[in-house]
């Protein structure tokens, strides 16, 4: 009578096995002659990151079935060994084993992770040939694959082909819409969902926050709570970021309190969002308090804190946190260096900022990006060291783009260097004739000088090219409700009363003229 295959997991009960433990247990079972559950052994080797042993074992055996082979594909995919997942699928086909819907789901996960649209299309075609493309598991994976790779039409087709799409299918397509800023389709699809879960709520709240629709993000969070869904660790960073975008201090504090209520112990991701939120609201002290309470700080925590100091004009404190981070054993990454250079630039700490850049150039040249060089130009230009900035531009190891000239332009504006501004603005327009900010700047420059003929020429050029300025907005928070206004906006429910009060202010201020300085 044949014995049942032995599951290797029964050998380990009280501890997490190492590679050596796994090899010993495997050897004992081989020596005993007891049949072994092959997929379990492969899983164990994968858990130890011994992928070469796992793959060797898979290749040497021929008694796999679709369930065990799919489990192995999933094991490799979850650990980032995506190319192995593809080759295991090929071997599965070579052995004459027909894939099932879960096989396609696992392999599509790998093709999405490596960003290979071609493999995804091949899997789509193969699943269609086997009649599995309409299965909800395969369909959801296809929708997710195409959406994440930016091919939204294919994602829509896969969604329409899916038989009875579930919450995963809807959420994947909705996330795809949000990724390409098609908010209205995303929100429409969200409300069409027959059933929602916390993941779908988080996706729409986070998506709105990322594309700047902060009010919608906050309203959706409130709706989520009203419908009885419990926010989790992924919800709060999204909605706190939305409050930060509109500097709604009272609202953000209420989200902070809600996070403590729902989560108890706040994880590092929630606290990182709080650091940035309080800084954007001008409450740097609260940012520092939040930062100091983090036990296991990651690089994002340090970056958020350094950036918070920089945004609030506290360049010296940004430098001090930068040095503390290095003393803690963490190395700065590309973002860290960028924010510390930004802080030094706005605080006038030219020598300190240049020293940070020079050290990174020697010790960590791999983290340097074009943005860092542009920041050094900004650093020098803001300090009125235009000659050094221009020499730095000439010595760059690559051709400077528009961002570099805009950095020099910014310094010229700050110090009212009209000749420099005119020269650089024209250079930017030569590089990018559609750069609206340069047209506006030149128009303001000529206007301040009383050169109305040049102003007329520039405005005519803008009109001919169909160029329009992106309207700015203002907002005010009253009783935890944020009111947003655009120029000439009459959509507010109390528009008539607002304009009546404004007219009163204008009458009162007649004859009082503020002093306007260029630009």
**Averaged over 381-387, what is the pLDDT?**
87
> Residue 39 — pLDDT band, cuts 50, 70, 90?
low
What is residue 472's DSSP assignment?
A: P
Q: Which of 237, 239, 191 is nearest to 215 (CA)?
A: 239
Return the SS3 of 18: coil
Lowest-pLDDT range of 110-119, 198-207, 426-435: 426-435
57 or 191: which leads in pLDDT? 191
Q: pLDDT tens digit string along 447-490?
A: 766 777 777 877 777 777 666 666 666 767 666 666 777 666 77
> Residue 54 — pLDDT band, cuts 50, 70, 90?
low
- Cβ burial of 161 (10 Å; 0-12, 13-18, 19+) is middle
β-strand pairing of 481-486 with 473-478: antiparallel
> Residue 519 — pLDDT band, cuts 50, 70, 90?
very low
Average model confidence (pLDDT) for the chain? 82
> Residue 14 — pLDDT band, cuts 50, 70, 90?
very low
- The percent of residues in the chain predicted with pLDDT above 90, rounded, is 34
Model confidence at 393: pLDDT above 70: yes
CA atoms within 13 A on the CB side of 278: 20
> Residue 323 — pLDDT band, cuts 50, 70, 90?
very high
Model confidence at 10: pLDDT above 60: no
Tell how many helices (H) and how many strands (E) occur in the chain.
28, 2
- What are phi and psi for residue 485, nearest 5 degrees? -130, 135
Q: Which of 302, 239, 315, 255 is nearest to 275 (CA)?
A: 302
pLDDT for residue 183: 86
Give yes or no for a contact between 101 and 68, defined as CB atoms under 8 angstroms apart: no
pLDDT for residue 97: 84
**Averaged over 197-210, what is the pLDDT?**
90
What is residue 36's DSSP assignment?
A: B
Q: What is the DSSP string of 383-443?
A: TT-HHHHHHHHHT-SS---HHHHHHHHHHHHHTT-HHHHHHHHHHHHHH-TT-HHHHHHHH
424 or 516: which leads in pLDDT? 424
What is residue 466's DSSP assignment?
A: T
335 or 444: which leads in pLDDT? 335
Taking the C-alpha atoms of residue 339 and residue 355, their distance in angstroms, rounded to an integer, is 14
> Residue 195 — pLDDT band, cuts 50, 70, 90?
confident
Top-confidence range, 49-53, 185-189, 439-443: 185-189
Q: pLDDT tens digit string along 346-365?
A: 888 989 999 999 999 999 99
Give yes or no for a contact between 231 and 258, defined as CB atoms under 8 angstroms apart: yes
pLDDT for residue 515: 45
Distance between first and last Cα of the chain: 93
CA pseudo-torsion sign 53, 71, 69, 143 = negative
pLDDT for residue 402: 79
Tokens 């995963």 found at: 168
- The percent of residues in the chain predicted with pLDDT above 70, rounded, is 80
Model confidence at 30: pLDDT above 90: no
What is residue 367's DSSP assignment?
A: G
Q: Which of 136, 139, 67 is nearest to 123 (CA)?
A: 139
């Amino acid at each position: 009578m044949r014995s049942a295959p032995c599951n290797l997991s029964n050998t380990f009960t009280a501890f997490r096995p190492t590679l050596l433990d796994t090899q010993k247990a495997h050897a004992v079972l081989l020596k005993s002659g007891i049949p072994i559950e092959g997929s379990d052994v492969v899983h164990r080797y994968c858990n130890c990151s011994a992928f070469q042993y796992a793959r060797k074992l898979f290749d040497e055996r021929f008694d796999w079935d679709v369930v065990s082979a799919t489990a192995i594909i999933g094991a490799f995919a979850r650990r980032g060994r995506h190319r192995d997942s593809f080759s295991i699928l090929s071997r599965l086909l070579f052995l004459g084993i027909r894939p099932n819907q879960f096989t396609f789901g696992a392999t599509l996960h790998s093709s999405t992770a490596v960003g290979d649209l071609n493999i995804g299309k091949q899997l789509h075609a193969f699943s269609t040939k086997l009649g599995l493309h309409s299965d909800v598991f395969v369909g959801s994976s296809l929708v997710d694959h195409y959406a994440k790779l930016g091919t939204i039409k294919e994602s829509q087709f896969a969604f329409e082909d899916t038989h009875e799409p579930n919450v995963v299918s809807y959420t994947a397509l909705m996330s795809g819409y949000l990724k390409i800023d098609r908010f209205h389709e995303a929100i429409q699809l969200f409300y069409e969902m027959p059933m929602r879960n916390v993941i779908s709520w988080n996706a729409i709240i986070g998506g709105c926050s990322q594309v700047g629709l902060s009010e919608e993000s906050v309203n959706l969070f409130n709706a989520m709570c009203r419908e009885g869904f419990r926010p989790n660790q992924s919800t709060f960073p999204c909605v706190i970021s939305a409050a930060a975008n509109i500097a709604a201090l009272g609202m953000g504090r209420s989200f902070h309190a809600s996070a403590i209520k729902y989560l108890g112990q706040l994880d590092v991701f929630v606290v990182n969002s709080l650091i940035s939120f309080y800084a954007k609201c001008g409450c740097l002290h609260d940012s520092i308090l939040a930062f100091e309470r983090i036990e296991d700080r990651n690089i994002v925590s340090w970056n958020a804190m350094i950036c918070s100091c920089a945004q609030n004009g506290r360049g010296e404190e940004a430098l001090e946190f930068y040095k503390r981070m290095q003393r803690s054993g963490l190395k700065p990454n590309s973002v860290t260096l960028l924010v510390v250079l930004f802080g030094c630039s706005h605080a006038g700490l030219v020598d300190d900022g240049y020293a940070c850049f020079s050290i990174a150039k020697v010790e960590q040249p791999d983290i340097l990006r074009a943005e860092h060089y542009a920041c050094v130009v900004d650093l020098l230009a803001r300090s009125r060291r235009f000659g050094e900035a221009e020499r730095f531009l000439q010595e760059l190891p690559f051709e400077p783009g528009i961002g570099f000239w805009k950095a020099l332009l910014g310094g010229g504006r700050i110090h009212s260097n009209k000749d420099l501004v005119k020269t650089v603005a024209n250079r930017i327009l030569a590089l990018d004739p559609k750069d609206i900010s340069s047209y506006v700047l030149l128009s303001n420059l000529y206007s301040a000088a009383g050169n109305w003929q040049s102003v007329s020429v520039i405005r005519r050029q803008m009109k001919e090219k169909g160029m329009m300025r992106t309207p700015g907005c203002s907002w005010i928070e009253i009783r935890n409700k944020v009111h947003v206004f655009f120029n000439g906006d009459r959509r507010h429910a109390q528009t008539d009363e607002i304009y009546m009060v404004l007219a009163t202010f204008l009458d009162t201020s007649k004859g009082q003229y503020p002093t306007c300085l260029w630009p």
